[in-house]
Chains A and B, each alone.
Chain A
Amino acid sequence: MRLRLQVNGTEREAEAREHESLLTVLRERLGLWGSKNACEQGECGSCSVLMDGDLVCACLVLAGAAEGRDVRTVEDLAAGEHLHPVQRAFVDAGAVQCGFCTPGFIVATAALLRDNPEPSDAEIREALSGNICRCTGYGKILEAVHRSAAQGYTS
């Protein structure tokens, strides 16, 4: 089936099977490998994207149902070599180890700070509880979120 998607501000077309998730189409059909495939059931947040501004797991979105919607992935955040402040903070805080969960955390953090620019520890923990990291134990991720908040995430 032929799909027309609005991804990172660009109209994209892709051929996909009917049952494929938005995640599969982003990765396998459009070559946007930044959204990761770790659990395929919405339990880890590695494939977090924004759809019409809402943070969702791309693995739980049927690709066909994403037609006509504004999809934003991790690839949308940096401007070339210039990292988005959330990305910068993750690098500087040591919040990245294997990095497989990182794109999902980056997108989820950007969404959190958009809605709540100065979150408390408790608010961060609740807002990011859908993103699993197996490497860091979350301490440096928490710090990275605070750092990006302090820098003003939109800057």
Chain B
Amino acid sequence: MTLLAGGTDLMVDLNFGRKRPERVVAIDRVPELSHLEGNGHVRMGAGVTYTRMLAEDVGSAALREAARTVGSPQIRNAGTLGGNIATSSPAGDTLPVLAALDAVVVLRSKQGERRVPFAQFMTGPKKNVRRADELVVGAEWDDAGPAQTFMKVGTRNAMVIAIAGLALVVDRPRRRVGVGLGSCGPTILRAPQAEAFAAAIFEAHGWDRHLTPSDAELKEFGRLVATAARPIDDVRGTAAYRRHVLAVMGERALARVWSIT
């Protein structure tokens, strides 16, 4: 049985004759999957489209920024959070954000609900721990405050699959820094050394204060981000470029969110 949400992944395989599933279950009109609740702890249903992420308060500025980079208005109207999660492409634009937020993927089957931290959800390119009898019903995360951003690199100014993507979350209330990397390895990666490095600086200067980072600190953060990557050469970009640009993005991201309290 194959599940169909927004269709933006599955339909390509059908149109190109790569897949002919015996049964397709369309879940795009299941209202229970379209819930969106905020208030400190965000619960987002799998059926929430990218367009809704842009239009409504989704409890994550980075997720909003990520949604804006997805495809085109047509794709954003159709594609969903759940589709992005279930497809588990390393280039899925919302996934680095979920990683940086320490989000939990919520799965459900007849046996009940299963909650998997995003860090343990993906196991490889387009591979994850979802069982055949399970449905991704949504994701949840704690509202991490406004100090977060997402950016991605592509050789076109719109409608492009990421050569590399990065989400940075500075969760001041929980005194935590999260970095999620897309298109830089077989799964979405975290950058634990970079996270620890940045957290230590915040720790030293005080989590609640405005800070101006030194250029050296920004550079070091970028360098540590890049070392977390496990990139390959492919049709969209080279491994060397991916490493390079991750360092640039890391540096810029930290500079961008540093002053946001």
| Residues of chain A whose beta carbon lies under 8 Å from any beta carbon of chain B | 18-19, 21, 40-43, 45, 48, 54-57, 59-62, 64-65, 108, 111, 126-127, 129-131
* Contact status B7-A61, CB under 8 Å: yes
Residues of B within 8 A of A57 (CB): 74-75, 78
29 contacts between A and B (CB under 8 A): A19-B14, A40-B16, A41-B12, A41-B15, A42-B11, A45-B72, A45-B74, A48-B74, A55-B73, A56-B77, A60-B6, A60-B8, A60-B12, A60-B75, A61-B7, A62-B11, A62-B26, A64-B24, A64-B26, A65-B26, A65-B28, A111-B73, A127-B73, A129-B72, A129-B157, A129-B159, A130-B72, A130-B158, A130-B159
Residues of A within 8 A of B73 (CB): 55, 108, 111, 127, 129-130
What is the predominant secondary structure among interface residues of chain A facing chain B? mixed
> Quick one: which of B7, B19, B20, B71 has the most chain A CB within 10 A?
B7
CA distance A64 to B4 in the complex (A): 11
Enumerate B56-81 residues with CB–CB distance to A below 8 Å. 71-75, 77-78
Residues of B within 8 A of A45 (CB): 72, 74
Closest residue of chain B to A68 (Cβ to Cβ) is: B29
CA distance A131 to B26 in the complex (A): 26
Encoded as 1 (CB less than 8 Å from any A CB) or 0, chain B from 152 to 166 comes to: 000001110000000
CA distance A129 to B10 in the complex (A): 22
* Contact status A108-B74, CB under 8 Å: yes
Residues of A within 8 A of B16 (CB): 40-41
Residues of B within 8 A of A126 (CB): 158
CA distance A61 to B15 in the complex (A): 10
Closest residue of chain B to A131 (Cβ to Cβ) is: B72
Residues of A within 8 A of B14 (CB): 19, 21, 62
Once A62-B26, A130-B159 are accepted as A-B contacts, the answer to whether A55 and B11 lie under 8 Å apart by CB is no
Residues of A within 8 A of B8 (CB): 42, 60
Residues of A within 8 A of B77 (CB): 54-56
* Contact status B78-A56, CB under 8 Å: yes
How distant is B244 from chain A, measured CB to nearest CB, in Å? Answer: 26
* Contact status B74-A42, CB under 8 Å: yes
CA distance A42 to B161 in the complex (A): 13
How distant is B84 from chain A, measured CB to nearest CB, in Å? Answer: 14
Enumerate B3-59 residues with CB–CB distance to A below 8 Å. 4, 6-8, 10-12, 14-16, 19-21, 24, 26, 28, 51
